[in-house]
Amino acid sequence: MIKFFLMVNKQGQTRLSKYYEHVDINKRTLLETEVIKSCLSRSNEQCSFIEYKDFKLIYRQYAALFIVVGVNDTENEMAIYEFIHNFVEVLDEYFSRVVSLMIMFNLDKVHIILDEMVLNGCIVETNRARILAPLLILDKMSES
């Protein structure tokens, strides 16, 4: 089960955070700083899976943004690794060539996309068209 999903930039600022298991707010900032520290300290040739307390962290770096997913023992790490890439591809299609600024300014849309893909820590949909369908309808509605 996915415990949390974070997008953090290189300076340690959180761009997106979604927790699927309750963590106290003051513990969250601590968690995020520790996680990003351990991810930043790794070089390119090192493995993308880190063990942190009782989670496993799977991270991927895209330019200046780190996407970190914390899972428990039962998940297949490589599937999650692939899932992160899937997520980025969906964002790419929606925003047409996404950059981290776009994510920041459209945080609510990114949340919607993430909610379409992951429900309660389980992956529910990975097909790009189907994920973006409700969002496109929503956009059309708000324009009109």
Partner 1 sequence: MVAPSLKLQDLIEEIRGAKTQAQEREVIQKECAHIRASFRDGDPLHRHRQLAKLLYVHMLGYPAHFGQMECLKLIASPRFTDKRVGYLGAMLLLDERQDAHLLITNSIKNDLSQGIQPVQGLALCTLSTMGSAEMCQDLATEVEKLLLQPSPYVRKKAILTAVHIIRKVPELSNIFLPSCAQLLHERHHGVLLGTITLITELCERSPAALRHFRKVVPQLVKILRTLVTTGYSTEHSISGVSDPFLQVQILRLLRILGRNHEESSEAMNDLLAQVATNTDTSRNAGNAVLFETVLTIMDIHSAAGLRVLAVNILGRFLLNSDKNIRYVALMSLLRLVQSDHSAVQRHRPTVVDCLKETDASLSRRALELSLALVNSSNVRAMTRELQAFLESCPIDLRADCASGILLAAERFAPTKRWHMDTILHVLITAGTYVRDDAVANLTQLIAGAQELHAYSVRRLYSALAEDISQQPLVQVAAWCIGEYGDLLLEGNCEETEPLQVEEEEVLALLEKVLQSHMSLPATRGYALTALMKLSTRLRGNNKRIRQVVSIYGSCLDVELQQRAVEYNTLFRKYDHMRAAILEKMPLVERGGPQVGEEAKESKEAAKLSEAAPVPTEPQASKLLDLLDLLDGPSEDAQHPLPLDPSPGGALVQLLDLPCAPPAPAPIPTLKVFEREGVQLNLSFIRPPGTPALLLITVTVTNSSGGDVTHFICQAAVPKVCKDQGLEVAWALQEKRPLSRRGGWERMRWKGMRQALGELWEEGLEPLGVEESSEPSQLPTSCVQSFQLQLQAPSGDTVPAWGGLPITQLFRILNPNKAPLRLKLRLTYNHFGQPVQEIFEVNNVPVETWQ
Name residues whose C-beta falls within 8 Å of residue 131's C-beta, 6 or more positions apart in sequence. Answer: 90, 113, 116, 117, 125
Residue 44 has φ and ψ, to the nearest 5°, of -70, -35
Beta-carbon-side half-sphere exposure of residue 7 (alpha carbons within 13 Å): 21
Q: Which of 9, 10, 17, 88 binds partner 1 (CB under 8 A)?
A: 17
- Asked if 112 interacts with partner 1 (CB under 8 A), we say yes
Instruction: Work out the burial of residue 136: count CB atoms within 10 Å of its CB; fewer than 13 is exposed, 13-18 middle, 19 or more buried.
Output: exposed
- Asked if 54 interacts with partner 1 (CB under 8 A), we say no
Return the range that interacts with partner 1 (CB under 8 A); candidates 63-71, 92-100, 130-138.
130-138
Tell how far CA 113 is from the center of its chain: 10
Report the nearest approach of partner 1 to the CB of residue 22 (Å): 5
Place of tokens 């780190």: 66
Q: Which of 12, 37, 42, 64 binds partner 1 (CB under 8 A)?
A: 42
- Asked if 72 interacts with partner 1 (CB under 8 A), we say no
Binding site for partner 1 (CB under 8 A): 13-14, 16-17, 20, 22, 25, 28-29, 42, 45-51, 74, 76-79, 81-83, 85-86, 104-105, 107-108, 111-112, 115, 119-120, 122-127, 129-130, 134, 137-138, 141-142
